Every structure is written in C-alpha cells, then in structure tokens.
Structure 1
Amino acid sequence: MHRLPMIMITRLIHPEQIETAIPILLSGGLVVFPTDTVYGVAALAEDAEAVARIYAAKDRPRRMAIPVMVAEPDRVTAVARPLPSFWALAQAFWPGPLTIILPKTDALPPIVTAGGGTVALRIPDHPLALALLRAVGRPLAVTSANISGQPPALTAEEARAQLEGRVEAVIDGGRAPGGQPSTIIDLTQTPPRILRTGPLSEQAVMTVL
C-alpha cells in the first residue's frame, strides 16, 4: 500500500497557552516566539538534532553559529564557562540588548557554535520570551524566524508565512519591536572586545568592566 508523505502542520499558539509549547521543545521540536527585536525560532540548545532542524527550516548555512538564550544569568553555566567580568555585565544589562560571548562547555553540541569554542548568550527583554525560557527551564538556541536571506519576521503571521510546515508551533505575541540588533561583547579576548555596537554604546558596556 502506498503511504502518503507526512506533512507537518504548524500550530498557532496564543500567549495564554504558552505551556503547550513546552513539550514541543522538550521533545526536540521547533517553536517560534517574539523577542525584544524580531520573532525567533528556538530549539533546545543541548539537543543537536533539534538544532540541526533550525538550520534545515531556515535554509541556514551550518557555518553560521546560533546564539543561545537563557532565563537567568546563572543558567549559562549549563552551556558556557562564565568569566569573572561576565557577572557584572549580566547584572547591569540583562535582560536587555547585550550579547555576551563566553567559552562553551562540552554540553553544548558543536552544531550550535559552528564548530567553534565560544557561544553567544543573551537574555531577551520581552515578557513572553522570558516566560517561555523560564517555563522550559533549559537554554534555547534561538535565531531569527525567517528563511535565510529573507526579511526578519515582526509578527506571528510573517513568521508563519515563511516557516509554515517547517516548525511545530508559532506563539502569537503581537508585533515584535524590531529595531537594532543587540550589542555584542567577546569576553574570551584580552582585553574584552566589542564586536558589534547596537542599542548599548561601547562606552556604556566598557564602563562596567
């Protein structure tokens, strides 16, 4: 008997049903949700197969690492080795538009970091994103919810239009703020180096160190 190909249906989740996204993530699925910039697509950071699905869903080259989001600063220890200056920066700017690069641990699959020894970490300043991160209780690999090379999604509808059938669920949290990408600081360099200036100026970040 001929078997029809399986077609994945992308489910739309309303914010009050956010708990329904947790088993999807814990079982290796992909969930789209709003952040403090654009909509992101997430998988468990420690699940190599799930992260591989992000690359496939976005048609994203494997040479491009994926950032990791956590709910609280102390959660980074699951996937990274905090350096002394990390704690001051996290206390000053998280949640917020600062991405901090730290040495990765062996718990983080190489696919997340494109084979590199460092990982980019952030806590987003968005209530729904924070609620999801706290509920799942694990670091999430998160990148923009769009096909690589296409415009980033600012609404659930835009994300779903690009990733329908490629992800399990989209959480509709209204329009994302958009704006500048986060400022990035690399703490693995001596001295620490700003790799990208965003909403936070280099002076504001370096003053904390």
Structure 2
Amino acid sequence: MATIVTLEKAVKLLMTEGIIVLPTDTVCGVSASLGCPEAIRKLYRIKERPLDQATALLIGSIKDIPALSPVTFSTEIKCLLDRCWPGGLTIIVPRRFDSLYDQGLDLVCDGAANVGLRIPDHPVTLEVIRALGSPLVASSANLRGKPAPGSTAELEPELKYLADGIIEGTCSAGVSSTVIDLTASPVKILREGFLTRSMLRKYLPDLA
C-alpha cells in the first residue's frame, strides 16, 4: 500500500525504480523515471496498458528537449510553446535514437520514431522533475476504463495499493492535456483537451 510521502522521499523512490502518484496541472499522474526501465514496465502493468501504446514524458524545461529529440521549431511553434508551456499541451516530436535514455525511450515509444513531451504547469510536478534530474514517464492515475482523478484523494484503492508513494495534492485543471503532432504537415491535433482547437488556431491557422 502506497503511503503519503514528501517530495524528497518521492524523488528517492523514483531513483530506485519506484512508482509515484502525484498531482499535475491537468489530472493526477502515475509516474516513473525515464532512467529506470523496470519502473516503466511496472507502470505499464499497473495501468494494464499495452506495451505498444506510447506514453508521454513530462519535462522540466524546454532545455531538456535536445536530450530526447533532434527537433527544431518553426517560428510559429516557438510562439505557441512560449504561450502554452508550461501547461496542458503535449507535443509529438521525433525521438532521439542516441540518447542517454534510449532504454526508457524504447519502452515509452515502443520503438516508434516519435515521442510526446509536455512541461506541466504545477509547482510540485516541476520540482520533482528538476530534483530527479530526469524526465518523468507519466500517465493518468486511473485504472483502465475508469475516469482520471482530479486530486489524489480520488484515487482508486487498487492504484494506492500498487504504487510506492503518493504526493498529496489537487490538480489545477482536472482535464487531460491537448495533444498535437508536430511531425505531421500541417500540424495535426490528436486529442483535444485543456486547449481547444480554436485556441490553438490562433498560433497554427492551418491546424488539421
């Protein structure tokens, strides 16, 4: 059974293959360190998530991107990210195949050429990522077929049992992030969430 832990304890658990549930700006996340492949496999088992289903990464800064992706951004995309990051926007970009995180990326991308990245707008999540020194593999903290919780108080008992620690807190939005594919031309919206299509079109008029 997971216990309530401090931020410092959560980081120690993440460094040693642990699974942590924490609040984010969108919905509560169940998370593992990208540098811990066994923890990523455990996260997939907990979520009953097929290994061929990609999982996004939470990063602490736009400066973290070069270690994960060789992408270069157009002026339009830079303006979009300046406005929407940190926040509820996940971008799909090409992944690196020569990264220090290759094992973790192989798992979260299932060998695919792309990876999802987001900078969360939540002080606790950002502090965890920065203290950990690694991106977080993060998925909504719900079991398959169940709604994503808006606070750690709403977690399913089974998830509490399977995780290693919980950082208490409430999510800012309670709505999943919007996902856009920057590898598509024109840029394509894959999931509408916190940011609506009309909001994104202010920056990307040709958004598909």
What does residue 101 of structure 1 align with?
92
Q: 1:122 and 1:11, CA in 2 relative to 1: closer, same or farther beyond 3 A?
A: same
SS in 2 for 1:41: strand
SS in 2 for 1:66: coil
Matched letter for residue 131 of structure 1: E
* Structure 2 Cα separation of the partners of residues 25 and 138 of structure 1: 10
Structure 1 ranges of 4+ moved more than 4 A: none
Matched letter for residue 114 of structure 1: D
* Structure 1 Cα separation of the partners of residues 88 and 13 of structure 2: 27
For structure 1, list consecutive stretches of 5 or more residues without a partner in the other structure: 1-8
What does residue 15 of structure 2 align with?
26
Matched letter for residue 61 of structure 1: P
Query: Quick check: 1:60–1:147 contact (8 Å CA) kept in 2?
Result: no
TM-score, normalised by the number of residues in structure 2: 0.85
User: What do you get for the CA RMSD once the two structures are aligned?
Assistant: 1.9
Matched letter for residue 153 of structure 2: E
- Which of 170, 188, 192 is equivalent to 2:187? 192
* Structure 2 Cα separation of the partners of residues 183 and 125 of structure 1: 14
Structure 1 range deviating more: 105-114 or 54-63: 105-114
**Alpha-carbon shift at residue 160 of structure 1 (Å):** 5.8
Structure 1 range deviating more: 56-65 or 149-158: 149-158
What does residue 91 of structure 1 align with?
82
Structure 1 range deviating more: 52-61 or 73-82: 73-82
What does residue 145 of structure 2 align with?
149
For structure 2, list consecutive stretches of 5 or more residues without a partner in the other structure: none
* Structure 1 Cα separation of the partners of residues 175 and 151 of structure 2: 16
Structure 1 range deviating more: 128-137 or 26-35: 128-137
SS in 2 for 1:111: helix
TM-score, normalised by the number of residues in structure 1: 0.85
Matched letter for residue 34 of structure 1: P
What does residue 5 of structure 1 align with?
none
Q: Deviations over 1:31-67 (max 9, x none)?
A: 1100112110111123322111101112122222111
Q: 1:90 and 1:56, CA in 2 relative to 1: closer, same or farther beyond 3 A?
A: same
* Structure 1 Cα separation of the partners of residues 95 and 15 of structure 2: 21
What does residue 130 of structure 1 align with?
126
**Alpha-carbon shift at residue 206 of structure 1 (Å):** 4.0
* Structure 1 Cα separation of the partners of residues 80 and 133 of structure 2: 22
What does residue 119 of structure 1 align with?
115
* Structure 1 Cα separation of the partners of residues 106 and 126 of structure 2: 25
What does residue 3 of structure 1 align with?
none
Identical-pair percentage? 36
Q: 1:205 and 1:155, CA in 2 relative to 1: closer, same or farther beyond 3 A?
A: closer
**Alpha-carbon shift at residue 157 of structure 1 (Å):** 3.2
Residues 1:202 and 2:194 are matched in the alignment: no
Query: Quick check: 2:15–2:36 contact (8 Å CA) kept in 1?
Result: no
What does residue 176 of structure 1 align with?
171
**Alpha-carbon shift at residue 141 of structure 1 (Å):** 0.6
